[in-house]
Amino acid sequence: MLNKVNTLIKEINNFTASTKEEVEQFRIKFLGSKGILKELFNEFKTVDNSLKKEIGQALNTLRKTAAEKVNELKEKLEEKTEQKAIYGDLTRPAEPIELGARHPISIVKNKIVEIFSRIGFNVSEGPEIEDDWHNFTALNLPEHHPARDMQDTFFIEKNPDILLRTHTSSVQVRYMENHKPPIRTVSPGRVFRNEDISARAHCIFHQVEGLYIDKDVSFADLKQTLLYFTKEMFGKSKIRLRPSYFPFTEPSAEVDIYWGLETEVDYKITKGTGWLEIMGCGMVDPNVLKNAGIDPNEYSGFAFGMGIERIAMLLYQIPDIRMFYENDTRFLEQFKSVL
């Protein structure tokens, strides 16, 4: 009988199970009311008294081993079930990665840059913290010009010589200082104005400004460039230029496109005129060329600038400029399908 018990202990130690049903059958086989242990204890009653101590200890070891084996197998199977509940079926196809969305300002900026790159314009960038020379003086802005007022410009620690740039024209000055004509560049970037935040204005916004310097550049070249841009950007082929004033260009003009009056929205955004202002432009003032180290007697050029937020609001009919800066995923997810 002792040999039989030792054999059963080995069998228990070698037993494995992959399901709870197999563990339950094992338990019934050894520990059930009609199981092997019950039979062995019945046989134990007839064992000679001289062998009862040794065989009794072996039977207790058998019972303990069987019970521990059942508990061990149950714990392992429960761990597997818990892992499956957490991670699911690891053999099934993975969940598709959720695509992000480009910000509408980035979409419009990239499109503008791509349009001008087709006709030879490269991209130039500069610092957002500027000095007085590049932001004002070199651009023909006199010392007491209103743009230098603390109410319009963010100065760094009240230092009148260091400020947050108010336009990306400062990048154009830096580019002219370090490159010889012919120059053909666009300068996208973030700019800062000390303005109250509302649905139509913000203290932080983005611009794209363009510059073309070469020999014999005329206002006609500027007009043709702008006409090309409006066709590519808006699909509109009718523009008009209204006389205006900018310190760094002379003559200067505001550019309008004919948006049309086909829908109620057209009437609303054009105030019933059909015309919509999109940018400012002009011929580069000779003083600006001279300040940047370019001979105005030999070279001429034109410049233009537009607000990216304004263009984006037109293209996507966004009613409030503040929506660009709130990082609301419900707003941003609408641009997932836009490259």
pLDDT at 141 over 80: yes
- pLDDT of 97 reads 73
Pick the last residue of a domain from 87, 112, 146.
87
Selected residue with higher pLDDT from 87 and 71 = 71
- pLDDT of 150 reads 52
Same domain, 110 and 82: no
Please indicate, yes or no, if residue 97 is contained in any of the structural domains.
no
Same domain, 47 and 21: yes
Q: What are phi and psi of 280, to 5 degrees?
A: -115, 155
Mean pLDDT for the stretch of residues 10-14: 81
Same domain, 149 and 110: yes
- Taking the C-alpha atoms of residue 249 and residue 283, their distance in angstroms, rounded to an integer, is 5
- What number of CA atoms fall less than 13 Å from residue 29's CA on the CB side? 13
pLDDT at 256 over 90: yes
pLDDT at 44 over 80: no
Domains contained in the chain, number: 2
Mean pLDDT for the stretch of residues 59-72: 82
Same domain, 57 and 172: no
Mean pLDDT for the stretch of residues 47-51: 75
Mean pLDDT for the stretch of residues 5-34: 81
Edge-to-edge strand ranges of the sheet holding 204-214? 122-123, 183-192, 204-214, 300-307, 275-284, 249-258, 239-246
Please indicate, yes or no, if residue 92 is contained in any of the structural domains.
no
pLDDT at 77 over 70: yes
Q: Which of 138-152, 224-238, 248-262, 285-299 has the lowest mean pLDDT?
A: 138-152
Please indicate, yes or no, if residue 27 is contained in any of the structural domains.
yes
Same domain, 257 and 128: yes
Task: State the residue range of the domain holding 76.
Answer: 2-87
Same domain, 112 and 244: yes
Same domain, 167 and 232: yes
- pLDDT of 311 reads 92
- pLDDT of 105 reads 93
Q: What are phi and psi of 165, to 5 degrees?
A: -55, 140
Same domain, 75 and 24: yes
Please indicate, yes or no, if residue 295 is contained in any of the structural domains.
yes
- pLDDT of 230 reads 94
Please indicate, yes or no, if residue 121 is contained in any of the structural domains.
yes
Indicate which CATH number applies to the domain containing 301. Answer: 3.30.930.10
Same domain, 132 and 83: no
Identify the band that residue 199 occupies on the pLDDT scale cut at 50, 70 and 90.
Answer: confident
- Taking the C-alpha atoms of residue 186 and residue 191, their distance in angstroms, rounded to an integer, is 15
Pick the last residue of a domain from 57, 87, 117.
87
- Taking the C-alpha atoms of residue 180 and residue 161, their distance in angstroms, rounded to an integer, is 27
- pLDDT of 185 reads 96
Same domain, 127 and 57: no
Please indicate, yes or no, if residue 99 is contained in any of the structural domains.
no
Same domain, 178 and 283: yes
Pick the last residue of a domain from 56, 87, 118.
87
pLDDT at 203 over 60: yes
Selected residue with higher pLDDT from 121 and 148 = 121
Same domain, 63 and 145: no
| Omega prior to 251 cis, within 30 of 0 | yes
* pLDDT tens, position by position, 273-330: 989 999 999 999 999 999 999 999 999 999 999 999 999 988 888 888 899 998 888 8
Please indicate, yes or no, if residue 94 is contained in any of the structural domains.
no
Please indicate, yes or no, if residue 43 is contained in any of the structural domains.
yes
